[in-house]
Structure formats: C-alpha cells, structure tokens
Amino acid sequence: MVTKCVNCPLARKPLFKPMSRDELAYMQRFKVGELVVDPRTSLLMEGSNSPQLYTTLRGMGLRYKTLPSGRRHVIGFVFPGDFIGLQAGVMGEMEHSVEASTSMTLCVFDRAEFWNFLKLRTDRAFDVIWLSAVEEHFLGEALATVGQRTAVEKVAWALVRFYRRGKMLHMVEHGSMPLPYKQQDLADALGLSLVHTNKTLAKLRDRQLANWSDGILSVHDVDRLAALAQDDGSEVVTRPLL
C-alpha cells in the first residue's frame, strides 16, 4: 500500500517546513511510486546515471565515496526526509554511492517530470537551492571536524548531530533513539580507525556522556556532549520537504 503525499507522516515532523494540504496534493503528481529495499542494498552507485530522484520515507542509509586505493569515506548519513539523487539529476552521474543500512522505503520521482515541476513552481526551485545550501553547510562542518577535531571531539560531534536530527524527527524517546549503523561506518565518516572509534565510544560511555550500543543511542545531556565536541551551533534548521 503506497502512502499518499497528503498523509505523509514526515510532513508533521518538526524538522520540516510546514506544507499546506494543497502543496502535498500537488507533490502527489510527481510521485511515480515507492521503492522498498532490504538492508545492505545499493541505491545509487558512483558513476551511475539513475533516472530517478528519491525522498527517504522510512529507514536509514549512508552516502560514501570509494578511493582508488579501496578505502571508503562516508560522506553522510541518510535520514527520513532526505532527498537523494539530485547530483545525478544535475550533473549527469553520481559522484558517490548510497546504500541502505536498514530496510528503506523511498518515494520515487521521475527526473524529467521533476524539472518541469521546478519550472512551473519557482518557489520549489528555491527550496532545492536552499537544500543544496544547507547540505553545503553541513559538508563544511564535517570537513572542519575531520580536519581539526580530535578523536573524542569527532565522535562526540557526530553523536550530537545524530541526536539533534533524531529529535526533530520524533525518533527520540527518553533520551534514546535508534541508530542502526556499524562502528565501522562512523569510523569511515570521521577518518578514524575502527579500533580507535570503538575505544573512543567506550570512553564516552564511561564518562556517562553518551551510550551507543545495540543500535540504540542514548544521550543524557546533549549540551554537555556538545561542549565536549567543541560544537557551538545548536539548533537544527527546519527544512523544506520534497
């Protein structure tokens, strides 16, 4: 059973800019279907040229790049509401891969149709520009993190990101949220080795700052964790949903 845009469960989350019933109904015209994938499935491959654009409806995944040497760098983590495939849509081909970490459900939009849509609704085109700018901002933060922060700061920074994002998506209950990634994924995102990431996580656990085990992240005091992470920027901005 395919979810109708009007009933989109994401639109109600605080992370997103409110959408009118009309807007949601209008989106429906471009949704050509839903894609359901199992964990560990590749959604988009580096160098591929997918004719589709997706919005994550359920589940989580990650974006990564592979170097010629075989090493992998995780560029970012995909959460519900994230828009995927814009780069391929614009640049002709993907420059990074996207893989499902959990089982995922994605809203599928037709690429060609989508461009027409943006031409008609210039306000939505601005939303896309806005999203790009936010993503750029995030990547800048990540770059500074990987480049300048120490291991503890890096891990703390990442957990704070996860937690804040989770909160805006109503995924947090009693200070805990699901975080279905492997330690290796986090290590590859922060430029740390698996072993050191593991030991750093243990350190945060010992200090009662954050506990990530069995796919559940628990944070008692986000602000204390953020302070440790040298993280000043606090609030997550509400973003448009596509």
Partner DNA sequence: CGCTAAATTGAGCCGAATCAAAAGTCGTGG
Partner DNA sequence: CCACGACTTTTGATTCGGCTCAATTTAGCG
Q: How far is the CB of 120 from a second copy (least distance, A)?
A: 9
Rule CB under 7 A: is residue 146 a binding residue for DNA? no
Q: 128 or 194, CB closer to DNA? A: 194
Give CA–CA dist 200/206, Å, rounded: 10
Q: How far apart are CA 219 and CA 224, in angstroms?
A: 10
Nearer to DNA, 45 or 151 (CB): 151
Site string for a second copy, 87-116 (x = CB under 8 A): x--xx---xx------------------x-
As measured in angstroms, the least distance from the Cβ of 123 to a second copy is: 9
Interface stretch with a second copy, choices 17-25, 28-36, 141-149, 202-210 (CB under 8 A): 141-149
Residue 128 CB partners (closer than 8 Å, separation 6+):
86, 118, 242
Residues 175, 62, 85, 39, CA torsion sign: negative
**Token reading at 133:** 């700018």
Among 42, 48, 148, 213, binds a second copy (CB under 8 A): 148
Between the CA of residue 206 and those of 32, 38, 40, 127, 202, what are the distances in Å? 49, 34, 31, 43, 6
Q: Of 198, 227, 230, 236, which lies in the binding site for DNA, with binding defined by CB under 7 A?
A: 198
